Amino acid sequence: MKKFQKWSVVLLVFLAVNTFAQVHDKSWKSITEMPEGKWFASAEAKAIAENVLLYQRNIGGWPKNIQMQKLLSDEEKKELLALKSDMHNITTDNGATYQEMVFLSKMYRQVPDERYKSAFLAGLDYILEAQYDNGGWPQFYPLKKGYYTHITYNDDSMVNILNVLEEIKDKTDCFSIKASDETIKKIELAFNKGIDCIIKTQYKQNGVLTSWCAQHDENTLLPAKARAYELPSLSGKESAKIVLLLMSLDNPSKEVITAVNSAVAWFEKVKIDGLREDRILNAEGKIIDKKMIPDANAPAIWARFMELDNNKPFFSDRDGIKKYALSEIGDERRNGYAWYTNEPKEVLKAYDKWKKKISSGRIGLKN
C-alpha cells in the first residue's frame, strides 16, 4: 500500500510539473490569448497572476517584453516591489498593459479576487490618463524623450487600447471586470477622441486618402520616423487593424465610412501579387535567410513600408538608407524584421459584408 502511495505521489508531481512546463513553454502573449476557462482557476494561473500584480507599477501600467509566466526568486520579487513607484518605461507598446489587463479579466471571471479587479481598473485609469488631448496615445507614459512621444499605431498599440475601451463602453461581456458609470463616461469621450485622431491622421497622397504610418507626429499629425530603419511611410501592416477597428463601429460617421472606403481602395491598389517570401531556418528554428521568390500562385502580400508619394515599397538597415529590394539590406535587418505582411487580407475579406451592412443600416462587424 505504501509503495502504491509513493508512486501515486510521484505521478501527481510528474503531472503537475509537466502541465507547468507546458504552460511556461508558451510566450506571454499566447498565454493571454488562451480561451477563457478553468485553466484560469488553476494554481499555475494564480502563480502567474501574482507576477502580473508584482510587475504593475503604481501608476497602473506595465513595462514591456516581460514573460510574466517566468518563475521569480524572492530577490526578484523584492526588486519588483521596490520598483512600484518607478515612473520609467511604462508602456502600451508590444502589447504591454493591454495583455496584462486581458489576463486579469480572464482570471477574475474564474477567481473573483478583488486584487485582480483593482489592478485591471488601475490599468484602465492609466490608459485614460496617457491619452493626448488630440486623441492619440504615445508609446510610453509618462512620456519618454525621443520618437516614443509620437502617436503610436506601431504593433497595433493604439488599436489595442481602443478595442479595450470600445468593449467596456459598450458594456459587452468581453471583460469580466466592469467600470463605474463615471468611468464609462470618460471612456466614451476618450474613445471618440481616439477615432477622431485616426480620421485626422489618415494620409492624403496627392489629395487622395490612403492609409496610416506606424507613428505620427503628436503635434503636426504627419507621418513620423521611429527607429533608424522605421522611416516615415505608409504602413501595409498597422493600417489593417486600424481599418478593422473602424469597421467595427456602430453608427459610423460619414468621415469613418470615407476613411474605410479610401483605405480599402488603397489596399487593393498596393497589394503585391506573384511574390512569395521564403525563410531558411537553422537547427534552432531561427531565421537565417529570407528571399523573395516569384510565384504566380502566391497569395497577395503587402509591404510594411511604402513611400508617401508613390507607394513604392522600401527597406533599410540601421543606417536608415532606403533600399528598394529586400536583398539589398544586410542579414541582421533582413532576417530580423517583418518587412511584408498579409494582414490586409482580413480587411478585404470583411469589406463586402461591412458595405452591405452600411447600405442596409445594419452596421458594425461585431455580430
- Give the tens place of pLDDT for each residue, 70-120: 999 999 999 999 999 999 999 999 999 999 999 999 999 999 999 999 999
Average pLDDT over residues 296-318: 97
| Long-range contacts, stretch 209-213, CB < 8 angstroms, 24+ apart | 209/258, 209/259, 209/262, 209/263, 209/266, 210/234, 210/262, 210/263, 210/266, 210/311, 211/235, 211/236, 211/239, 211/242, 211/263, 211/266, 211/267, 212/153, 212/238, 212/239, 212/242, 213/153, 213/238
Q: Which of 173, 79, 62 is nearest to 123 (CA)?
A: 62
pLDDT of residue 10: 43
The DSSP letter of residue 272 is: B
Residue 204: how many other CB atoms lie within 10 Å: 10
Catalytic residue status for 342:
no
pLDDT of residue 13: 42
- Please give the grid coordinates belonging to residue 185: 463616461
The reply to whether 1 falls in a domain is no
Q: Is the pLDDT of residue 223 over 90?
A: yes
Question: Do 176 and 217 fall within a single domain?
Answer: no
Average pLDDT over residues 169-190: 97
Per-residue pLDDT of 135-170, as tens digits, reads: 999 999 999 999 999 999 999 999 999 999 999 999
* pLDDT tier, 4 (very low <50, low <70, confident <90, very high otherwise): very low
The reply to whether 115 falls in a domain is yes
3-state SS string over 61-116? CECCCCCCCCCCCHHHHHHHHHCCCCCCCCECHHHCCHHHHHHHHHHHHHCCCHHH
Question: Do 215 and 340 fall within a single domain?
Answer: yes
- φ and ψ at 77, to 5 degrees? -65, -40
Q: Which of 88, 198, 218 is nearest to 150 (CA)?
A: 218
Question: Do 190 and 278 fall within a single domain?
Answer: no
Number of domains in the chain: 2
C-alpha to C-alpha distance for 188 and 95, rounded to whole angstroms: 22
pLDDT of residue 365: 61
Catalytic residue status for 219:
no
Question: Do 122 and 148 fall within a single domain?
Answer: yes
Choosing from 227, 279, 318, 362, the catalytic residue is 227
123, 141 contact by CB (below 8 A) = no
- φ and ψ at 145, to 5 degrees? -60, 145
Q: Is the pLDDT of residue 3 over 70?
A: no
For 58, the domain range is: 16-199
Question: Do 256 and 133 fall within a single domain?
Answer: no
Enter the pTM of the model. Answer: 0.90
